[in-house]
């Protein structure tokens, strides 16, 4: 079942005051009858199931010129018209939140982010993020490349992942750091406690990662024919425990949830990961029983060439206390 987009501007490129008209036609390869909400959520990556439902509830989706219900069964050739309202305008504001700064000069910072802190504002999260804290610390002097929501942010860490993250104060620093990440010159090494016993002492996962076709907030290994981006993770066993394995992970690429998805694909999910861990430690209750504040994943080491001084910089962040205490209990 395929769709052709007759008119579709990138949603992410909208100006704040703009709405967008999206027209979709089920082409002749469409077979069977699918519900409207399922069809749109599955075939348009930019629209989650929840967002499709909200658009339908607001009367912003028509089929063949008539406002449609979610349960409408589509037929081959049906014309679907979607009106996307202007996106909510977000702008990060400075907040006095303590930061653990590992390095700082006039061009950039390296920060040890705690688990539980979101990197930048987004849907449903407007405050308490790393960006809010950095804006206060730097008095607004940050790179503008990331825009008003992600000023200075060169790369990100998941909310429940702790460790080292780079922040650019100037555009030239931002550009230089981004280029090093893309060229793999910047090195990032993570420590992860995996649930299960690794059979190999080291390995490489080379598998593309894409958006889950049904669970739009999740990522997955992209199968043949699915949209995905190349992703490579190297891992090395640091220590074995009876039911867990501590590994060091080195990234060649930096895809969303990369380590978590790749390790789960080996049936060795990250301990305390409530999204991708289907084993015993993959719930909030189990995470708390382990004494973890987030998932057992920590960006431990970072090295790169300073984008202005050209000096090699290397940093290491000790494991957070909850992670350290869990390892002690497992020994």
Give the residue numbers annotated as catalytic, written as ranges: 158
- Single out the residue of 44, 36, 41, 40 nearest to residue 71, CA to CA: 36
Interatomic CA distance for residues 61 and 116, integer angstroms? 37
Interatomic CA distance for residues 130 and 19, integer angstroms? 30
CA 303 to each of CA 7, 154, 173: distance values in angstroms, whole numbers, following the listed order: 44, 14, 15
Interatomic CA distance for residues 100 and 113, integer angstroms? 7
C-alpha 165: how far from chain center: 14
The CA angle 267-269-275, to the nearest 5 degrees, is 120
Please, are residues 36 and 17 in contact by the beta-carbon 8 Å criterion? no
Interatomic CA distance for residues 230 and 204, integer angstroms? 13
Residue ranges of E strands in the chain: 3-7, 20-26, 61-63, 66-67, 79-84, 101-104, 108-113, 162-168, 187-195, 202-206, 209-211, 219-221, 232-240, 244-251, 297-305, 312-316
Interatomic CA distance for residues 149 and 133, integer angstroms? 13
Exposed, middle or buried by CB within 10 Å (0-12, 13-18, 19+), for 96?
Answer: exposed
Please, are residues 219 and 210 in contact by the beta-carbon 8 Å criterion? yes
């Amino acid at each position: 079942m395929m769709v052709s987009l007759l008119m579709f501007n990138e949603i992410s490129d909208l100006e704040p005051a703009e709405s967008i008209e999206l027209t979709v036609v089920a082409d002749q390869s469409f077979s069977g009858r699918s519900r409207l909400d399922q069809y749109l959520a599955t075939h348009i990556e930019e629209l989650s199931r929840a967002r499709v439902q909200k658009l339908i509830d607001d009367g912003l989706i028509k089929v063949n010129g008539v406002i449609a219900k979610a349960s409408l069964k589509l037929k081959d050739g049906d014309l679907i018209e979607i009106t996307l309202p202007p996106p909510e305008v977000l702008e990060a504001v400075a907040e006095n939140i303590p930061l653990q700064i590992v390095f700082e000069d006039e061009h950039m910072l390296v920060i040890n982010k705690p688990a539980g802190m979101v990197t930048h504002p987004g849907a449903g999260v407007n405050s308490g993020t790393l960006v809010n804290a950095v804006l206060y610390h730097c008095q607004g002097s940050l790179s503008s490349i990331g825009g008003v929501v992600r000023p200075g942010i060169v790369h990100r860490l998941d909310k429940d992942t702790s460790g080292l993250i780079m922040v650019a104060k100037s555009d030239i620093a931002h550009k230089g750091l981004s280029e090093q990440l893309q060229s793999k010159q910047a090195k990032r090494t993570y420590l992860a406690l995996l649930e299960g016993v690794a059979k190999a002492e080291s390995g490489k996962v080379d598998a593309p990662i894409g958006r889950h076709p049904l669970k739009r907030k999740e990522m997955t290994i992209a199968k043949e024919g699915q949209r995905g981006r190349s992703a490579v993770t190297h891992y090395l066993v640091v220590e074995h425990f009876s039911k867990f394995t501590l590994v060091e992970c080195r990234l060649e690429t930096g895809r969303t949830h990369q380590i978590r998805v790749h390790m789960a694909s080996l049936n060795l999910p990250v301990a305390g990961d409530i999204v991708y861990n289907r084993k015993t430690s993959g719930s909030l209750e189990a995470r708390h029983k382990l004494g973890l504040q987030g998932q057992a994943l920590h960006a431990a080491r970072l090295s790169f060439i300073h984008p202005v001084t050209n000096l090699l910089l290397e940093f290491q962040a000790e494991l957070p206390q909850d992670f350290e205490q869990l390892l002690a209990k497992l020994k």
